């Protein structure tokens, strides 16, 4: 069994808000979590979903970095590996865990007779693919969020559940770091609970391309929470995080994600920090190798 659940005054900002009053026993996980739950931080939300495997504490962060007092994060909470020797790994949602573009294309075809395939997305910026303004692109995406296509659920990426289950039972602590907007925070938590229940300790939202609210860089989130590795399909995020010293597994499923290609010119990225992976089997192998190297480095310092 995992640790008992906890909640705090910020809990009504997340899903499962009806259960907030019933789950207020604080988990003494680390100094950072204790301070979060004892402070007035309305942009944080804490919740504990049901789990088929174990019952981790899930913290949903949709606030800006200014809310986080980095001095509250003790070394026992954000080292190379966690206190029980587990490496903290951040995992993206769309195109890594779920097939977002595939489902979005179905919506665009049914609603607007827009005919696109995943292979058409040479960049993960929909306005450029659809040949419209950013405002119009945002409008279509948010209509998609309200559609039955989105509510019926995004299909999972094959192999992700099995690999993440093995990783969670090994020397890894898994968290979600997504660019998804605040407006679909609750829907995202429900989707994760339905398809990846019990695997992730925390969920963080960057709020990119949102109609309102501030966005948060993935590199800032990863550094703040002590994630040493990010699994992501977007090369822009990969380069951003690598520049911050964060290891990245750039997920290019079967080599079929046009937008996931790194810049070809020399010196564009550090190959020691960014590795391209094409399936979840490769993710497992690369993480095992990386964890070994990080432990060796830590032992020598």
Q: Enumerate the active-site residues.
A: 92, 94
Same domain, 167 and 130: no
Q: How far apart are CA 121 and CA 253, in angstroms?
A: 14
Same domain, 142 and 237: no
The total domain count for the chain is 2
Q: Is 162 within the bounds of a domain? A: yes
DSSP, residue by residue, 255-280: G--GGGPPP-STTSS-TTTEEEESSH
Same domain, 121 and 225: no
φ, ψ for residue 265, nearest 5 deg: -70, 150
Same domain, 125 and 84: no
Closest CA to 223 of 73, 37, 76: 73
pLDDT of residue 297: 76
Q: How many CB atoms within 10 Å of residue 76?
A: 12
Q: How far apart are CA 270 and CA 181, in angstroms?
A: 29
Same domain, 208 and 292: yes
Q: Which positions of the chain have pLDDT values less than 50?
A: 1-57, 64-83
pLDDT of residue 268: 59
Among the three residues 119, 151, 183, which one is the final residue of a domain in this structure?
Answer: 151
User: Taking every pair of C-alpha atoms in the chain, what is the biggest distance, in angstroms?
Assistant: 59
What confidence tens digit (pLDDT) does each residue in 232-242 have? 999 999 999 99
Closest CA to 128 of 259, 260, 250, 254: 259
Same domain, 254 and 210: yes
The domain of 118 spans: 100-151
Same domain, 134 and 28: no
Task: Supply the DSSP symbol for 81.
Answer: B
pLDDT of residue 60: 62
Q: How many CB atoms within 10 Å of residue 95?
A: 24
CATH number for the domain harbouring residue 193: 3.40.50.1000
pLDDT of residue 50: 36
Q: Is 6 within the bounds of a domain? A: no
Given a contact cutoff of 8 angstroms between Cβ atoms, the answer to whether 274 and 242 are in contact is yes
pLDDT of residue 74: 24
Given a contact cutoff of 8 angstroms between Cβ atoms, the answer to whether 175 and 202 are in contact is yes
Q: How far apart are CA 85 and CA 143, in angstroms?
A: 44
pLDDT of residue 84: 55
Among the three residues 89, 119, 151, which one is the final residue of a domain in this structure?
Answer: 151
> What residue spans of the chain are helical by DSSP H?
31-38, 100-112, 126-130, 134-145, 148-151, 160-168, 185-195, 218-225, 235-243, 280-299
Q: Roughly how many angstroms between the first and final C-alpha of the chain, as a whole number?
A: 34
Q: Is 221 exposed, middle or buried (0-12, 13-18, 19+ CB in 10 A)?
A: buried
Q: How far apart are CA 124 and CA 146, in angstroms?
A: 21
pLDDT of residue 43: 34
């Amino acid at each position: 069994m995992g640790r008992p659940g906890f909640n705090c005054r910020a809990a009504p900002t997340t899903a499962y808000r009806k259960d907030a009053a019933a789950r207020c026993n604080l988990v003494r996980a680390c100094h950072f979590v204790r301070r979060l739950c004892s402070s007035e931080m309305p942009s944080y939300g804490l919740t504990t979903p049901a789990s088929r495997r174990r019952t981790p504490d899930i913290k949903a962060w949709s606030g800006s970095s200014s809310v986080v007092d980095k001095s509250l994060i003790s070394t026992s909470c954000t080292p190379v590996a966690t206190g029980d020797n587990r490496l903290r790994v951040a995992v993206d949602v769309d195109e890594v865990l779920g097939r977002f573009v595939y489902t979005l294309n179905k919506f665009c075809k049914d609603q607007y007779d827009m005919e696109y395939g995943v292979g058409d997305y040479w960049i993960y910026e929909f306005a450029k693919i659809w040949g419209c303004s950013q405002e119009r692109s945002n409008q279509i995406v948010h209509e998609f969020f309200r559609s039955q296509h989105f509510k019926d659920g995004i299909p999972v990426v094959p192999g992700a559940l099995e690999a993440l289950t093995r990783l969670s039972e090994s020397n890894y602590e898994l968290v979600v770091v997504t660019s998804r907007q605040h407006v679909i925070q609750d829907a995202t938590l429900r989707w994760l609970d339905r398809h990846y229940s019990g695997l992730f300790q925390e969920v963080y939202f960057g709020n990119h391309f949102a109609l309102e609210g501030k966005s948060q860089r993935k590199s800032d989130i990863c550094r703040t929470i002590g994630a040493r590795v990010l699994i992501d399909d977007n090369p822009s995020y990969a380069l951003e995080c690598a520049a911050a010293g964060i290891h990245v597994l750039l997920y290019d499923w079967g080599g079929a994600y046009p937008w996931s290609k790194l810049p070809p010119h020399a010196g564009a990225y550090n190959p020691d920090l960014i590795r391209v992976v094409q399936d979840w089997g490769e993710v497992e192998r690369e993480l095992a190798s990386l964890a070994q190297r990080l432990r060796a480095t830590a032992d020598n310092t």
